[in-house]
Structure 1
Amino acid sequence: MHFSHVLFVNLCVLEQHNNLHNFTEKSKTCVTRLLRDPKEWGQCEMDRGVRLPFCQKWTLQCDQRTVKNILPLGPSFSFFRLLSSHSPSGTRRAVIREASAHGVGHQYLEVWGCRGLEKSFDLTALSKHGKVYEDAQFACLAWSPCEEKLLYVAEKKRVGSSEKASPSSANQSGELIVLEEEDKNVYMEDWGEGLVGKSVPVLCVADLSKREVNVCTGVPPHVSPGQALWAEGGRGVVFVGWWNEPFRLGLKFCSNRRSARFHIDLKGNCELLSADSGSVSSPRLSPDHRWLVYLQGRVFGPHHQCLLMMLYDIEKRSSSVLIDVIRRAGKGQFAGVYDPLPPQCWASNSEEIFFSSPCGNSKVVFSVDRQTGRIRPVYDTKREFGSARLLTVINDLLVISCSSPNHPPSLVVGFVSSRENKQEVQWTHLGGADVCEKFDWQDIIITPPPEEENHQFSGLTFGAVLLKPDSSSKSGKIPLVVFIHVNYRGSTGFGQDSIDSLLGNVGSQDVKDVQRAVLHILQSDQALDADRVAVMGGSHGGFLACHLIGQYPEFYRACAARNPVINAATLVGTSDIVDWRYSSVGLHYSFDQLPTPEALITMLEKSPIAHAAQICAPVLLMLGGKDKRVSPYQGLELYKALKSRKSPVRLLWYDGDGHSLSRLETQSDCFLNIALWFQQHLNMN
């Protein structure tokens, strides 16, 4: 297989796929400023079929706001932990890990100091709560300012029939409460794809001096708490609460879920701090403890929206808009906030907030001035990379992960310019994966022709990224593989108008945009073989891939789809994000809504299954048996439709995988099968 002779059109925003976080140790000051910190990475180990997390350490000698020297990088070391966090002073580190005790899996909270292990709590044996949350939606591990308490989120403890619970017990106020056994057969909702088993989160506080763990009382039962942080010098907690009534909708990758900011003190008194009709996320406290910045959006509608960045004045108890929703943006201009804020995002003077966000086909690091709201780009990705993602800010040192389609992620650091001296940041490369693939790439912006305009949102553009072999490896015509998601109209990074333009137009506008991108590239590059074009994608990308081979049956020679949406009408009752089925086709959603015959007809007409009879390209389907977002029976529906017409189709069923098909053995199997499928049907010898 000669993969160097395959050309890819990538229809997704360039992303970093390294697992880097917790770069938070305080710097040490002497004649020069010495900063040491471990960095967490991930590496696939194919023999064992696992991903191995590991750390690297960099020692930076700094003078004022300049990195003067980088000491040689020491050997990497492997570790296994769920969460970790440095204390405010940088002298202690909290770790939550899993380990086996007497053949049974236990979770431990450990506190490490300069001389080794200081404290250890067997959380499983304490039996105050269920498993600790480690996900990106709810999880936290926060030190109190006094460094004697740790705040985290865990699953609520359930009283099962196997436990010999006393018939009554006393709560912290001394009141008698009755403990009832839970029926093990009662259905427990969870928060959907990627959050299986996470149903009723609770806030937990580990008191290191008293060596005890307590679950916070007073959280309203109709909300699920998460993303918590200490407030009022450790006397209270601010958290995000997601409404779990009347039932839970999938939360992962969905910024449109009803939620609000709450404050709770350690006596259980809870207060609502924001409006309860929107969605909020990413609360981040300023170093001077006077300001709280957070993101806010609408409920329902598109799952990824352009968000407001809000500023909360803690003393005045009032919120104001720091960054508004961007409806449209010019080429290369700031296009709005779409991504969660990094855990540490404030400058040390509490005057600037730093964040990264999609901008066209790239991701860019920006800053916003707290007083003026002025937004400016911080790192120019066009110099060397395609995208940059801010990981954290440590004592005014920005830590950024940079990558491009032909260059794996690497770290770049630089000090924030002072407010008085706005000089250009001096960037220093720390290094990363020492690999640079031998192919070229190109950032493309496309304007739809007049006949494909959305007249309600006219004048929108969209993007694509072209990957192709470098000039030295070309030999004859090159087949083209269209890898969706293209940044079609409706994608993040192009303003809210672009996102709203897709509502009611799925299956048409997005399909036409992908096809227009393919035609544009074929016409602009004569080295491409228009008779050997294949398409692949997952989820909504799989939805589009199957649409393309149905709407343009003579154009594509092969298709590979991972967990594709095939029939939105039959998906209504099986998806954790049932609201998308309505909003995407232009219908209003409410919890008590039942599908009408007219709604089901609309969903069916906008689905790939409506074009299944025209499909003649060979189709490879890859389905996760535990997918809660797009039922695997969606793909099975297309498989049966194609089999009945004797159209070439092959189905791979990964019983233990979910929507992302993320298990290592699944990923490698999918990759090899896709490559072989395209090699066979594109005549790649």
Structure 2
Amino acid sequence: MTSAAVTSTIDEDVQEFHQYAASAVDLSMVHASQTSVLSVIRSCRNWDADQRQSYLYRFNIHGPMSRPATSMPPIPLDTSIKIYLPSPSGNKTIVVKEESMTGGDETASAKKTVVEVWHGPSLVRRIPINEKQHGKVINDAAGFGSPVWSPDETCLLYSAERVPPKTESFWTSTTESIPGNQTPVRGGNNVFGLGQREHWGERYYMQEPILDLYIMNLLSGKIGQIQNVPNCFSPSYDNGSESVTLGQAVWHPSGYKVAFTAWNAGLPRRLGMIYCRNRASKIYETSVRKLLQSLLDLAPTEDDARDNDFVCQSNNLPYARSPRYVQTGESDRLVFLGSERAFVSHDFCMGIYRASSSDTVDCIVPVVSRPIDTGPKLFGMGFPGLFLAQLPLYRSLNGYLVVTSIYGSVQRVLRVDCCTGKVDLISLPQLDETTSQSVCAFGPNGDMIMAATSSTKPASLWFVASESLTQESAGGIVAVDGREIAVFDPVAASVYSTIATTFDIPFKMKVLSVGPSKIDGATSDPIQSILLLPKEASTTKKVPLIVVPHGGPHSCTFSNFVPGFAYLASKYAVLFPNYRGSIGFGQAPADSLLTRIGNVDVQDVMTSTKFAIEVVPEIDGQNIGICGGSHGGFLATHCTAQYPDFFKAAACRNPVTNIASMLTSTDIPDWCFAEAIGHFDPDRYQGPTKDEITAMYEKSPISTVEQVKTPTLVALGKIDLRVPHSQGLEWYHILRSKGIPTKLLLYPSDCHALDRDTTEADHWIHIRKWFDEYLH
């Protein structure tokens, strides 16, 4: 092939991936106002700047269900805007910005945080955050939480970084102003816990580890701190409030009380937080009446005597998060996600609990061991339990709580009766069973805004009337009326090439289910897989298959649109096996993988692959590739070692290859113990025994690497704290020494997900070209 032809092929590949990246719809904020205006922030890729560009969309959703919503052109938001938060009524908006502190020096790089308060179209106040008050305002909806408006829209409740202690070297002295008039700790620059902070691992290494709660008066700009919870975890290896970090705060509807989540930050070692929800946490409630008096200059009242100290509402549950107030009858009750069992897996089935007036908690929806036979069903499977990060931020609808949860290989919207605990499936008749759906927002009248997406279609928004949400269910399914509000047009990611404003996705999707008889006996749980198949594939024009097991392993691939997967599926059949251990199928199947990684999960991937080849005649069973990241990379490397003649090519993204050596360098050493050994005690951190190291090694792909024959591409992020890049490097160098075709992609500024905008594009283009070379 000539140089010009190669360049032309590369250009076509880049343009094709550009189209999928431009079509992705990632929503970070959806808000419906009292005036029937829907505001949406969409995050779009910008390869030229190697960052995300946010656009504000507005839609007029007033009118009958048959009338389409009218939209206005999207507005690009300045990159200095970190938070854009309309008030519940829609009359006000908070904008949190990071502005340069240039002063007279234009080269200065320091940033200051400014909170802008907008009333309608008017900017009524700019409130600077003094560096002596607190650090960065936290906006982490799936983790430590996001700011929330007070019920009367006069105050903002939020979590922010605690100002770290000031340190200086032994041979310097300073007279500069110190937050809280602290004396600098001389010689503390390099002391762990002082100048060197112990963070929360992957993604959080630039964030201060201890977060406090604050209330801001949006009229005066005054800021008050809610006292941190002292010594609420035992044992604690730090002193006092240093052992607790606070977040996920919400207001009581009265406006005089707040509830929040407190995490244990005083363990012998802080463990990685992102993707890992088994971190010790409690739900607390406290009055803020006196604090509001000082912030709002209110006169004391007789109710001041009712102020209490912190009240733990989660009793002795090892995990509790996501507090919310729901209206049941005439009262508002505090509910939250929790578990009565201390799991060692990083994600698991959660229950919904309700705070009680006694020292106990009431379980509304329990943890589900295996899918329930009665009630709603999807793909023939009953309700598998709740698998979700957070409860949504809105008040309940006539006693119902509407949540988004993983349900097998899809994401669906469920209705929970907060009195009886009955769970119903909310279904839009216009959408296919395989379409994933999620709650985005509720309007002031109780009308719901839902996002719908599948692996073959980027997200669109749907409007659901409140009256249909509260109707009686039939067989556990509530069929609701809905109308499509918007299908988002593509947004170019680069000046490199243009994109088509409309185009047809060139593949289709199926959900495959492997029965127990084909796994390992009648007692086994069925395995679901998602298959993407190019539309041009046929029995006479068969296509190679790429198998993509997910990471975790306690995660799930559900039917949402991912540019990298779409890019592969335009040319290849792509199979996503949700092997045993995946979430969304009940807790027992997830537990069944513990101590059996490298065995059961590998068997399930191979069983799913062979089943797809057997039942889908358009697949070329002689041309199979495998691609996975993290634990998916663990499975990809294991499969090529255990089945050296089955796969023609492999691509691994930050793979786990040697658990024994990963143990001392990862931010989640508990994962290594839990998955390989089956136990971990966070209160008694210790090194592994000789037998435990042996077990970890024997369950790792490295133990059988000498059997590998498969050409392998390895993509690594050099600042990955979850699976350090030394894991993939070891695999790459061994294969290279064996003379196996290998290719290494090394990204100096990327962490575990390899999701910086240019990195995402670069490594997926490389991956598909790798399969182009070896799958014929």
TM-score under structure 1 normalisation? 0.89
Aligned runs of 1:46-61 on 2, under 5 Å? 46-61=47-62
CA change 1:212–1:496 in 2 (3 A) is: same
1:467 to 521, 528, 532: 532
User: Secondary structure of 2:703's match?
Assistant: helix
Residue 416 (str. 1) matches residue 455 (str. 2)? no
Amino acid at match of 1:375: V
Provide the residue aligned with 1:354 in structure 2. 402
Q: Distance in 2 between matches of 1:624 and 1:556?
A: 25
Provide the residue aligned with 1:323 in structure 2. 365
Amino acid at match of 1:227: Q
User: Secondary structure of 2:349's match?
Assistant: coil
- Check whether the contact 1:218–1:270 (CA below 8 A) recurs between aligned residues: no
CA deviation map 1:42-76 (0-9, x unaligned): 222333333211121111224xxx63534421101
Provide the residue aligned with 2:564 in structure 1. none
- Check whether the contact 2:57–2:72 (CA below 8 A) recurs between aligned residues: yes
Provide the residue aligned with 1:12 in structure 2. none
Residue 99 (str. 1) matches residue 99 (str. 2)? yes
User: Secondary structure of 1:129's match?
Assistant: coil
Residue 427 (str. 1) matches residue 482 (str. 2)? yes
CA change 1:681–1:465 in 2 (3 A) is: same
Q: Distance in 2 between matches of 1:36 and 1:290?
A: 28
Cα offset for 1:25?
Answer: 4.1
Residue 514 (str. 1) matches residue 563 (str. 2)? no
Provide the residue aligned with 2:520 in structure 1. 452
2:313 to 268, 273, 278: 273
Higher relative CO (CA 8 A, sep ≥ 6), structure 1 or 2?
1
Amino acid at match of 2:205: V
Residue 296 (str. 1) matches residue 338 (str. 2)? yes
Range with bigger deviation, 84-93 or 113-122:
84-93
1:223 to 232, 244, 251: 244
Q: Distance in 1 between matches of 2:382 and 2:364?
A: 17
Q: Distance in 2 between matches of 1:17 and 1:252?
A: 23
CA change 1:50–1:289 in 2 (3 A) is: farther
1:158 to 158, 164, 168: 164
User: Secondary structure of 1:499's match?
Assistant: helix
1:594 to 687, 697, 703: 687
Provide the residue aligned with 1:9 in structure 2. none
Q: Distance in 2 between matches of 1:168 and 1:3?
A: 54
1:577 to 660, 668, 678: 668
- Check whether the contact 2:61–2:70 (CA below 8 A) recurs between aligned residues: no
Q: Distance in 2 between matches of 1:3 and 1:277?
A: 55
CA deviation map 1:631-675 (0-9, x unaligned): 110101111221222222111111100000110111111011101
Q: Distance in 2 between matches of 1:375 and 1:579?
A: 33
Residue 367 (str. 1) matches residue 422 (str. 2)? no
Range with bigger deviation, 144-153 or 366-375:
144-153
Aligned runs of 1:87-486 on 2, under 5 Å? 87-102=87-102, 103=108, 104-123=110-129, 125-135=130-140, 136-161=142-167, 164=175, 180=185, 183-187=188-192, 188-198=197-207, 199-220=209-230, 221=241, 222-231=243-252, 233-246=254-267, 247-266=269-288, 269-286=309-326, 290-297=332-339, 298-313=341-356, 319-329=361-371, 331-349=380-398, 351-380=399-428, 383=432, 386-394=435-443, 395-417=445-467, 421-422=471-472, 424-434=479-489, 435-449=503-517, 452-453=520-521, 458-471=523-536, 476-485=541-550, 486=577
CA deviation map 1:411-454 (0-9, x unaligned): 1110233687548421110122355402121101112447734x
User: Secondary structure of 2:43's match?
Assistant: strand
Cα offset for 1:521?
Answer: 1.1
Cα offset for 1:83?
Answer: 2.2
Q: Distance in 1 between matches of 2:691 and 2:321?
A: 36
Q: Distance in 2 between matches of 1:321 and 1:678?
A: 50
Aligned runs of 1:75-94 on 2, under 5 Å? 75-79=73-77, 80=79, 81-94=81-94
CA change 1:180–1:520 in 2 (3 A) is: same
Amino acid at match of 2:586: G
Q: Distance in 1 between matches of 2:62 and 2:92?
A: 22
CA change 1:352–1:303 in 2 (3 A) is: same
User: Secondary structure of 1:24's match?
Assistant: strand
Q: Distance in 2 between matches of 1:420 and 1:286?
A: 15
- Check whether the contact 1:346–1:354 (CA below 8 A) recurs between aligned residues: no
User: Secondary structure of 1:366's match?
Assistant: strand
Provide the residue aligned with 2:26 in structure 1. 19
- Check whether the contact 2:283–2:314 (CA below 8 A) recurs between aligned residues: yes
Amino acid at match of 2:545: L
CA change 1:311–1:405 in 2 (3 A) is: same
CA deviation map 1:248-303 (0-9, x unaligned): 11111112111000123446943322224511122112257611221113434111
Q: Distance in 2 between matches of 1:84 and 1:286?
A: 25
User: Secondary structure of 1:612's match?
Assistant: helix
User: Secondary structure of 2:676's match?
Assistant: coil
Q: Distance in 1 between matches of 2:61 and 2:768?
A: 43
Range with bigger deviation, 212-221 or 160-169:
160-169
Provide the residue aligned with 2:632 in structure 1. 541
Q: Distance in 1 between matches of 2:729 and 2:253?
A: 54
Q: Distance in 2 between matches of 1:130 and 1:656?
A: 24
Provide the residue aligned with 1:614 in structure 2. 707
Q: Distance in 1 between matches of 2:470 and 2:757?
A: 50
Structure 2 unpaired stretches of 5+: 1-8, 14-22, 103-107, 169-173, 231-240, 292-308, 374-379, 473-477, 490-502, 551-576
Cα offset for 1:86?
Answer: 2.7
- Check whether the contact 1:624–1:654 (CA below 8 A) recurs between aligned residues: yes
Paired residues in the alignment total 652
CA deviation map 1:186-218 (0-9, x unaligned): 231111112122311111221223322233223
Q: Distance in 1 between matches of 2:527 and 2:614?
A: 18
CA deviation map 1:218-240 (0-9, x unaligned): 33212110101123733332110
Q: Distance in 1 between matches of 2:609 and 2:469?
A: 46
User: Secondary structure of 1:82's match?
Assistant: strand
CA change 1:165–1:2 in 2 (3 A) is: closer
Q: Distance in 2 between matches of 1:291 and 1:3?
A: 58
Question: When you count strand as a share of all residues, which structure comes out higher?
Answer: 1
Q: Distance in 2 between matches of 1:254 and 1:234?
A: 32
Cα offset for 1:26?
Answer: 2.9
2:72 to 58, 74, 84: 74
User: Secondary structure of 2:71's match?
Assistant: coil
Amino acid at match of 2:727: Q
Cα offset for 1:153?
Answer: 1.1
Query: What RMSD in Å do the two structures reach over aligned CA positions?
Result: 2.7
Range with bigger deviation, 267-276 or 244-253:
267-276
Range with bigger deviation, 593-602 or 210-219:
210-219
Cα offset for 1:82?
Answer: 2.1
CA change 1:78–1:276 in 2 (3 A) is: farther
Q: Distance in 2 between matches of 1:164 and 1:385?
A: 64
Residue 561 (str. 1) matches residue 642 (str. 2)? no
